[in-house]
């Protein structure tokens, strides 16, 4: 997936649309990540000044949640479920098979809610049930 490059004016207008929310910090970070693919370093100060909270508060939220990222998103992302139901169906070996075999960022995720069709993976946002290396490679094409 490709995202637009960071643009603080666009970021400001995204934040302005969230101004009426009673708890805007997390949804601001999410909205910026959705648009730009990651949270740019300038975003922390921008959110802090827009919503009159401290930069420490914003930084705290940014670093708490596993999904928020501070580096640009890669072109391809593969998430492989590493939780129990998928472990029972060989997720550990799938993880090591996929790592190195594909040119994508491969990371673990804990439960995709597809536990009856394990192992599960997500390739560029698409959920794969009964995942195999072959299915993941096919999806990346």
Partner 1 sequence: MKIFVPNDSAARSIGADAIAVAITAEAAKRGVAIELVRNGTRGALWLETLVEVEVGGERIAYGPTTADDVASLFDAKFYEGGSHPLSLGATEKIEWFAKQDRVTFSRVGVNSPLDLEGYISLGGYAGLKKALSLSADAVVQEVLDSGLRGRGGAGFPAGIKWKTVLGAQADQKYVCCNADEGDSGTFADRILMEADPFTLIEGMTIAGTAVGATIGYIYIRSEYPDAIAAMQGAITVATCAGYLGKNICGSGNDFDLHVRVGAGSYVCGEETAMLESIEGKRGVIRSKPPLPALAGLFGKPTIINNVLTLASVPAILADGAAAYAARGVGRSLGTQIFQLAGNIKRGGIVETGFGITLDALINGFGGGTFTGKPLRAIQIGGPLGAYFGVEKLDVSMDYESLIAAGGMLGHGGVVLFDESVNLAEQAKFAMEFCSIESCGKCTPCRIGSTRGVETIVKIMSSRDAAEIAEQKSLLLDLCEVMRDGSLCAMGGLTPLPVKSALENFPSDFEGAAK
For binding to partner 1 (CB under 8 A), which residues are involved? Answer: 21-30, 57, 60-61, 64-68, 81, 83-89, 109-118, 120, 125, 127-130
133: Cα separation from own chain's centroid: 21
In the bound complex, what is the minimum distance in angstroms from residue 51's beta carbon to partner 1?
Answer: 9
In the bound complex, what is the minimum distance in angstroms from residue 20's beta carbon to partner 1?
Answer: 12
Compute, in degrees rounded to 10, the torsion defined by CA atoms 2, 123, 39, 50: 100
In the bound complex, what is the minimum distance in angstroms from residue 130's beta carbon to partner 1?
Answer: 6
Give the residue with the Cβ less far from partner 1, 57 or 76.
Answer: 57
Give the residue with the Cβ less far from partner 1, 56 or 101.
Answer: 56
Residue 33 is encoded by which pair of tokens? 């990540």
Give the residue with the Cβ less far from partner 1, 13 or 93.
Answer: 93
In the bound complex, what is the minimum distance in angstroms from residue 69's beta carbon to partner 1?
Answer: 10
Q: What b/e string do you get for 72-96 counting C-beta neighbours within 10 Å, with b at 16 or more?
A: eeeeebbbbbbbebbbebebeebbe
Instruction: Name the strands in the sheet holding 126-128, side by side, starting at the edge strand that comes first in the sequence.
Output: 105-109, 77-81, 121-123, 126-128
Give the residue with the Cβ less far from partner 1, 9 or 141.
Answer: 141
């Amino acid at each position: 997936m490709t995202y637009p490059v960071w643009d603080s004016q666009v970021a400001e207008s995204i934040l302005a649309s969230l101004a009426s929310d009673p708890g805007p910090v997390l949804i601001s970070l999410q909205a910026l990540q959705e648009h730009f693919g990651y949270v740019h370093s300038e975003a922390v100060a921008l959110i802090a000044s827009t919503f009159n909270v401290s930069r420490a508060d914003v930084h705290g939220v940014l670093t708490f949640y596993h999904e928020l990222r501070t580096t640009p998103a890669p072109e391809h992302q593969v998430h492989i479920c590493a939780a129990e139901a998928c472990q029972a169906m060989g997720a550990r070996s799938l993880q090591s098979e996929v790592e190195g075999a594909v040119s994508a960022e491969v990371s673990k995720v804990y439960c995709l809610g597809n536990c009856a069709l394990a192992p599960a993976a997500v390739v560029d946002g698409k959920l794969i049930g009964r995942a195999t290396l072959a299915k993941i490679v096919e999806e990346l094409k």
